[in-house]
Chain A
Amino acid sequence: MIAVIALAVGVIAGIFINPDVPLWLQPYLPIAVIAALDSVFGGIRARLDRKFDDKQFVISFISNVLIAALIVYLGDQLGVGSQLSTGVVVVLGIRIFSNAAAIRRHLFSA
């Protein structure tokens, strides 16, 4: 419940602060979005599995964002940034789908 309220607070803060994204950060934005969505779905799933753990939620989010950003950064340096971004999106996308499937099974038993 706290997490949901905090999520709403973050959304509202984003709407009101409306920060300018610096240019060097822009390539990482889509990756950050995918990692964030992945954490949200993972968290909901763990909650429904009655396995939600605060520490794991926080650490997995931060580590996912950092690793994804690191991969994209490395890719940019090597000149294959878009390919590695695609790789990150594919892997996290698979996770989002399987987590969504688990949530669906919980909520609709289907």
Chain B
Amino acid sequence: MRRRYEDEPDKQRAFGPIAVDLLASFWHDPLDYDAPTRPGRRTPFTRALTAITAAAIGFILVVAYQHTVAAAPANADIRAQLLSDIDAKRAATDEQQKTAEQLGRDVEDLRDRILGDSEAAKALRDKAALAGLAPVTGEGVTVTVTDGPRPEDPDAQDLGRVRDRDIQTIVNTLWSLGAEAVAIDDQRLTATSAIRAAGAAILVDFRPVTNPYTITAIGPADLARQFNATGTARTFHGYSNDYGMGFTVKAADDLTLPAAPAPPLDHAAPIPPPGTGPDPSTTGSGR
């Protein structure tokens, strides 16, 4: 085979480094097809061997083809099946969530009707509001943080981007200053709320919130002034100057924060109040 390239001397030129030469020699001398210059004698036996080998090659090609073709629709089927399963479960969950919320509202209506305007009803409403299970209104502060401009170099670190930790810091500072209700992008926080990151997205209670991030808090009248005096506010003003992150703090007079969805009680069971039986029907009629 080498002879062929001696006719074309430019093809035999070394490319340079040894590694490249190795590739070049692969290309020009295809490994072992340095066939004997004088083919061996062909006997019926060797012809039969060739025929068997050729048949085996054809067999392998077809088997591989059929195997691949057979595997493809099966994979696609499984994938489609999973997708529809996920959609169905998600729809069922949404439906049940709606039912749960409706039932919760029914319970509250009935409770209000039975209790009327008594002291106990007021205490109950206050507790629900504090726990985040009822909408609340009042004066407080609105803190808005926005992502800074993206760096032009796509590989550079995006330092102006708002992270879950930034939101956590602001929320914790607001709680520490006496905020009684906090919401992020109209998602009320409860005692069990989590602010987390999943990839680039920020999740509050597993629901994504998006840029710009608006954190509203109801608390003491001078919450905005107090917040501006904290180290957190100073830090974010610094981020704003250094990385172009947006950061505004505004006092607000009439904020309304929505209720959070009731968290599921998976493991714990409430202790029944003294004097009531464990049976829910007796609890209802006892009141």
Contacts and interface: CB of A to CB of B under 8 A. Distances in A.
Interface string A62-79: 100000000000000000
A40 B40 CA distance: 19
Contacts of B66: 14-15, 18
Query: For this complex, into which size category does the number of interface residues on chain B fall?
Result: 35 or more
B28 interface: yes
Interface in B14-68: 23, 26-28, 30-33, 35-37, 39-40, 42, 46-47, 49-64, 66-67
B64 A33 contact: yes
Contacts of A21: 63, 67
Given A7-B55, A58-B49, A46 B63 contact: no
Main secondary structure on chain A at its contact with chain B? helix
B59 A53 contact: no
27 contacts: A3-B51, A9-B55, A9-B58, A10-B57, A13-B55, A14-B59, A14-B63, A14-B66, A15-B66, A26-B67, A29-B63, A30-B64, A32-B64, A33-B61, A36-B57, A40-B57, A45-B33, A52-B35, A54-B46, A55-B40, A55-B46, A56-B35, A57-B50, A61-B53, A94-B23, A94-B26, A98-B30
Interface of A: 2-11, 13-15, 18-19, 21, 26, 29-30, 32-33, 36-37, 39-40, 42-43, 45-46, 49-58, 60-62, 91, 94-95, 97-99, 102
